[in-house]
Chain A
């Protein structure tokens, strides 16, 4: 059974701080890793994907992947109240559908 583990939160950070969201996965054959943001009442929106070990940066977002530890994280720098949402981690292998974690609820306090 492929599983993704995320801390459900809520994770509260002050505005301007770095928010760190973490995810572990069970399938060592996983190849692709994704972070989605979901605002309340909306559908998931893709933020980032990462395939290789190391860091990948896109604006205020950095994804970090460590395949040996089966660990992927998302850092949000200079957090804004508009970043308050649920963040979903997901992975797949080749053509398989994405397997999602339960999500971490982030609250950025102004």
Chain B
């Protein structure tokens, strides 16, 4: 498995601002994903972060709202733009190492938007 860290672990933000979440992995991984988990809900995939190209977004998520970068095989960022209280959620980075197709999760970023 991979060791995944996320920064920040939590934040409280004002409506209309943006927050960038970082995901760092201790080894090169084949695939990186960003999920959202709203209170009491399951995991919803936001996008697949592609190295060196635009992320692949799931239905209901757009690049202007959730821009994603992945400059190399160990790092990705997710920005939550122009935040509203509905964006309050836990954001999770997930990776696949390529040895198997199992996915591992980072510790998450708990975002509260006031």
Does chain B have a CB within 8 A of A43? Answer: yes
Q: How far is the CB of B71 from chain A (nearest CB, A)?
A: 20
Q: A95-B31, A97-B33 are in contact. Are A46 and B45 (CB under 8 A)?
A: no
Does chain B have a CB within 8 A of A25? Answer: no
Does chain A have a CB within 8 A of B101? Answer: yes
Bound-complex Cα distance A102 to B106 (A): 19
| Secondary structure dominating the interface of B | strand
Report, as a range, how many residues of chain B touch the other chain.
20 to 34
Q: Are B102 and A97 in contact (CB under 8 A)?
A: no
Could you say which residues of chain B place their CB within 8 Å of the CB of A45? 105
Bound-complex Cα distance A102 to B37 (A): 10
Q: Contacts A100-B42, A101-B42 known; list 18 others, CB within 8 Å.
A: A32-B102, A43-B105, A43-B106, A43-B107, A43-B108, A46-B104, A49-B100, A88-B42, A88-B43, A92-B101, A94-B101, A95-B31, A97-B45, A98-B45, A98-B94, A98-B103, A100-B43, A102-B41
